[in-house]
Structure 1
Amino acid sequence: MQMKYSPSLKVLLILASLVIVLAGIKAASAIVVPFLLSIFIAMSCSPIINWANQYRIPRAVSVVLVILLIVIFGFMLAGLVGQSMNDFSDNFPKYREKLVDQFAWAIGRLNDFNIQINKDQLLSYLDPGAAMNMATSLLTSLGGVLTNFLLILLIVVFMLFEAESFPRKIHIALDDPNMKLRQIDKFLLSVKNYLAIKTLVSLGTGLVIGLWLYALGVDHYLLWATLAFLLNYIPNIGSIIAAVPAVLLALVQLGPGIAGLTALGFIVTNTVMGNIVEPRYMGRGLGLSTLVVFLSLIFWGWLLGTVGMLLSVPLTMIVKIGFESGQDTRWIAQLLASDGSELKELEHQDEKDQNASGADNTSV
């Protein structure tokens, strides 16, 4: 005899199950975080492997070459950024003292215009060196996660070898052995393309920012370039967070003029990359609203820590793409979207797919 549940009871059961699942993920974050990083790296590298296969390079050779590049680049970057972090940590008290002096000077100029502000009280509420300290703390905590580098690397290797057969396994697992469900392929392709394109755009952003800061003579430019690369995965908010410590350091070290040029470099780079380059290759169908970006940052950061904050938007994008793949859950994806045009685009694309599927069946 099948029991019938009221709609309110169903909602309650779903919410209770969700709480249990999230509590389990948070408790197992030491295992989940390296696994998520491995998936992220493997999916970002997968297009390179596929590109090499087009030139008839054996998959084993291409995987080994990609892993070697990751290891060489990772060790070089870790050494350079690590040295920059150590130097910055040693000089941080001096930077903070100069920054407080600059802050006090600005408050004094405001008082000259009869804008009365108590310096000591304001500094007790707003520490101007906190943003710089937060940036280094973010990179330090990320470095703690990467102590499992060998484990992550091994998982990436096995994932890259299994990537070719993975789509067929998904079809079979979902009872679609003849691979007729196009939503599955659309989901896998969208996630892979999103992660690959976002990684390339983030690399470009970090490279341009690093060269710009080096040309201006700002100290520890590699540190701020790495921060810009990592936080570029968080649109809108990430670019602001990455710019603040670099601009403050330029203000302390080189004065207001260079600080203004530093801020201008961040604004121009993120505007070009975020509004021209990225939409050109990624399309409009992957946008998230600013509110969803901010809430996902809080949620994934609470659930998975620093890595969750950095991967908050990619993880939310994967959830959104998954909702887009099904007719019944598409309304949830629309709630996460940045505007109201995506649903019509998706419905139009579904009509094309159905027409193509009908033509295939007619021809058979």
Structure 2
Amino acid sequence: MLKVESPILKVLVALAAIVIILAGVKVASEIAVPFLLSLFIAIICSPIIRFMTSRKVPHWLAITLLLLMILVVFFSVLSLINSTAREFTQSIPQYRLLLSERINALVLLAKKWNIPLDLSTERTMEYMDPSVIMNLVSSTLLSFSGVVTNVFVLFLVVIFMLSEAPFAKHKLALVFSSDVRDVHREEHYINRILQGVISYLGVKTLTSLLTGVCVYILLELTDVQYAILWATLSFLLNYIPNIGSIIAAVPIVVQALLLNGFPTGLGVAIGVGAVNMIVGNIIEPKMMGRTLGLSTLVVFLSLLFWGWLLGTVGMLLSVPLTMVLKIALEASPETVKYAILLGDVKDINREIIDAKQEAAERIKEQAEWEENAEQIAEAIATAKEEAKNEAIAGVIADAKAEIEAEIQAIAKAADQK
């Protein structure tokens, strides 16, 4: 077997291995994406399953009830969105005509007030073609729906994952630990991954739901069409960090400007912006706390990377996937320095303190393990010594009993004579 001695060669080999793995994931994205989606659905559902089983509900019944509820909600919303999206797609060609009319009206208004405005309808249409924006929205929804098209297979995988969930953590800890003493440490890191992902996705789901509901109420109050479609789009794209809510707001504002006029469009733009500002910058950080531990730059780069690798679902899951990668890097002394690169600057000192405390706990656990091992060895030696003494005492007692029996027999024979 070839041994790699040079540090540069080791780095090149590692980079080559990473490129090969990423190429494999990219090629197998049709399999990897549903698997990851199923995995994260199972992780989100696991606390609910644990809550139900703690209330004496059988594990299989808890899984069945939860998945039935999810399926009912999923198909109800999907049918509603499907009918709205069909109507919306048919009206896309009308938006180009409406935009042309709005531009001409703006030019006439500028001429009326003697405002110099060099605005060509054809050139503006090239930059602000609403059909391009609307088709982008449609393709985004279709790309996501394509992943969940085979709902049966997706939920079948979720069922098997939830069935194995009670034992999966210990199995993974045994796989990744090289020694029995490392099992507890590996379980600690697995718990960190699960708690981080559950906390992030739970908070993100609540804030995305709040964003979708607020957008729906706003659009209904302002009489903007396809409110359920835009609310669903806002809910889904809010999972994409930094830019998701902005992307979701663009088609809403464009449609409101075209169909409802400038005052309504401006009001919708202000309203949607206020909702995203309040939820994204006030409510979500307060609920999220220090869950992420990722720098803003890393979050944005992870969005681009996972989006390129796994498509729309990769963008939705970019933050939890990067969190898993960061915690996995922290688990090994050789890779912990790379985990620091992914972390937030404000959290580095805290992570160093946590690492020192964790190292102290490991040393303490190892000392306790060694002390217990010594005590066990001493107990075994004592038990062996006691057993040996008991055996010797038993032999002596047996010999003494035999001698006494012989003496009694001799005495009895003498009396008879």
Answer yes or no: same fold by TM over 0.5.
yes
The equivalent of 1:263 in structure 2 is 269
Amino acid across the alignment from 1:59: H
For the Cα contact (< 8 Å) 1:184–1:325, is it kept in 2? no
**Residue 174 and residue 287 in structure 1: after superposition, are their counterparts in 2 closer, same or farther (change >3 A)?**
closer
Select the residue among 273, 277, 280 that pairs with 2:283.
277
C-alpha distance after superposition, 1:51-71 (max 9, x if no partner): 223323222222111101110
The aligned counterpart of 2:155 is: 153
Could you say what secondary structure the match of 1:129 adopts? helix
Deviation at 1:31, TM superposition (A): 1.1
What is the letter of the counterpart of residue 96 of structure 2? R
Q: Does 1:320 align with 2:348?
A: no
Q: Is the 8 A contact 1:168 1:177 kept in 2?
A: no
Deviations 1:126-166 (CA, angstroms, capped at 9, x unpaired): 42432222111111222222221100010011111111111
1:2 deviates by: 7.7
Q: Pick from 319, 334, 338 the counterpart of residue 332 of structure 1.
A: 338
Answer yes or no: is the 8 Å Cα contact 2:193–2:323 preserved in 1: no
- CA distances 1:330-352 after superposition (whole Å, capped 9, x unpaired): 44334334x41111122223344
- Structure 1 position 347 matched with structure 2 position 349: no
Query: Take 1:271 and 1:327, find their aligned partners in 2: how far apart are those partners?
Result: 40
The Cα shift of 1:33 comes to 1.4
Match of 1:139 among 111, 127, 141: 141
What is the one-letter code of the residue matched to 2:150?
A: N
> SS of 1:165's equivalent?
helix
Deviations 1:183-203 (A, max 9, x none): 332223222322232223222
Structure 1 residue aligned with 2:307: 301
Q: Deviation per CA, 1:228-266: give whole Å up to 9, x if none.
A: 111111122001000000111111122222222322332
What residue identity is the alignment partner of 2:209?
L
Cα pair distance change 1:68/1:340, threshold 3 Å: same
Tell me which amino acid in the other structure corresponds to 1:65: L
Aligned to 1:218: 224
State the number of aligned residues. Answer: 363
Partner of 2:27: 27
- Aligned CA distance change for structure 1 residues 292 and 102 (closer, same or farther; 3 Å): farther
CA positional deviation for 1:104: 4.7
Distance (whole Å) between structure 2 residues aligned to residue 121 and residue 356 of structure 1: 67
Distance in 1 (alpha carbons) for counterparts of 2:180 and 2:103: 66
Residue 238 of structure 2 aligns with which residue?
232
SS in 2 for 1:192: helix
- What is the percent sequence identity of the aligned residues? 42
Q: d(CA) in 1 for partners of 2:107 and 2:290?
A: 44
- Of 204, 210, 218, 1:204 maps to 210
Corresponding residue SS for 2:166 = coil
Moved more, 163-172 or 180-189: 180-189
Alpha-carbon separation, structure 2, partners of 1:249 and 1:325: 49
CA distance in 1, matches of 2:150, 2:167: 27
CA distance in 2, matches of 1:138, 1:57: 39
After the TM superposition, which of the residue ranges 271-280 and 321-330 deviates more from structure 2?
Answer: 321-330
Aligned to 2:224, what secondary structure does the other structure show?
coil
**Secondary structure of the residue that 1:147 maps to in structure 2?**
coil
Residue identity in the other structure for 1:313: V
**Correspondence for 1:180 among 176, 181, 184:** 184
Distance verdict in 2 for CA 1:234–1:98, change over 3 Å: same
What CA RMSD, in Å, does the superposition of the two structures yield over aligned residues?
2.6
User: Of the two structures, which has the highest relative contact order with CA contacts closer than 8 Å and spacing of 6 or more?
Assistant: 1
| Distance (whole Å) between structure 1 residues aligned to residue 335 and residue 104 of structure 2 | 54
Q: Report the counterpart of residue 169 of structure 2 in structure 1.
A: 167
1:91 pairs with 2:91: yes
Structure 1: runs of 5+ lacking an equivalent:
none
Shift of 1:7: 1.7
How many angstroms does 1:72 deviate by?
Answer: 0.2
State the Cα distance separating 1:227 from its structure 2 match.
0.9
**In the superposition, relative to structure 1, how do residues 168 and 132 fare at CA in structure 2: closer, same or farther (>3 Å)?**
same
Q: Does the 8 Å CA contact 1:289/1:336 hold for their aligned counterparts?
A: yes
Distance 1:330 1:266 in 2: 41
The structure with the larger Rg is 2
For 1:6 and 1:70, locate their aligned partners in 2 and report how far apart those are by CA, in whole Å: 54
Amino acid at match of 1:340: V
- How much has 1:355 moved relative to structure 2? 5.0
Cα distance in 2 between the residues matched to 1:51 and 1:261: 43
Please report how far the alpha carbon of residue 9 of structure 1 lies from its aligned counterpart in structure 2 after TM superposition. 1.2
Are the aligned partners of 2:96 and 2:129 in contact in 1 as well (CA < 8 Å)?
no
